[in-house]
Amino acid sequence: DGGITQSPKYLFRKEGQNVTLSCEQNLNHDAMYWYRQDPGQGLRLIYYSQIVNDFQKGDIAEGYSVSREKKESFPLTVTSAQKNPTAFYLCASSIDTGPVELFFGEGSRLTVL
């Protein structure tokens, strides 16, 4: 089945540690995105990538980093510089960056202890 796979589903980390969330898609989509979902705030865009080896900051990129070395993969690193990292993280993809449907993964819940 085609889709987006995020891992891990749940992750705990100590303060001061970096953590990397995985996102893999087999939809052959060019564009990929990372969103952060907080209660009462909806989804906010962290980073997006229109094509391999290219990515752009979204609205809340501070404390995060990404890479796009392969079309199907778009990992997100939550660094120790992120002041409030506990959240639900969603990866998405679309066929391109035009006005098209986003397909979402099931999300990764990060808790910082």
Q: In the complex with other proteins, which residue's Cβ is closer, 78 or 90?
A: 90
List residues near other proteins by CB under 8 A: 4, 31, 33, 35, 40-45, 48, 50, 56, 58, 90, 92, 94, 96-102, 104-107
* Least distance in angstroms from the C-beta of 6 to other proteins: 9
Question: What is the token pair recorded at 41?
Answer: 């705030």
Detail the DSSP E strand segments found in the chain. Answer: 4-7, 10-13, 19-25, 31-38, 42-51, 54-57, 64-66, 76-78, 87-94, 103-104, 108-112
* Least distance in angstroms from the C-beta of 90 to other proteins: 7
Q: In the complex with other proteins, which residue's Cβ is closer, 44 or 71?
A: 44
Q: In the complex with other proteins, which residue's Cβ is closer, 18 or 54?
A: 54
Dist. CA 97–CA 25, nearest whole Å: 16
**Amino acid identity, residue 61?**
A
Q: In the complex with other proteins, which residue's Cβ is closer, 61 or 80?
A: 61
- CA 93 to chain CA centroid, Å, is 10
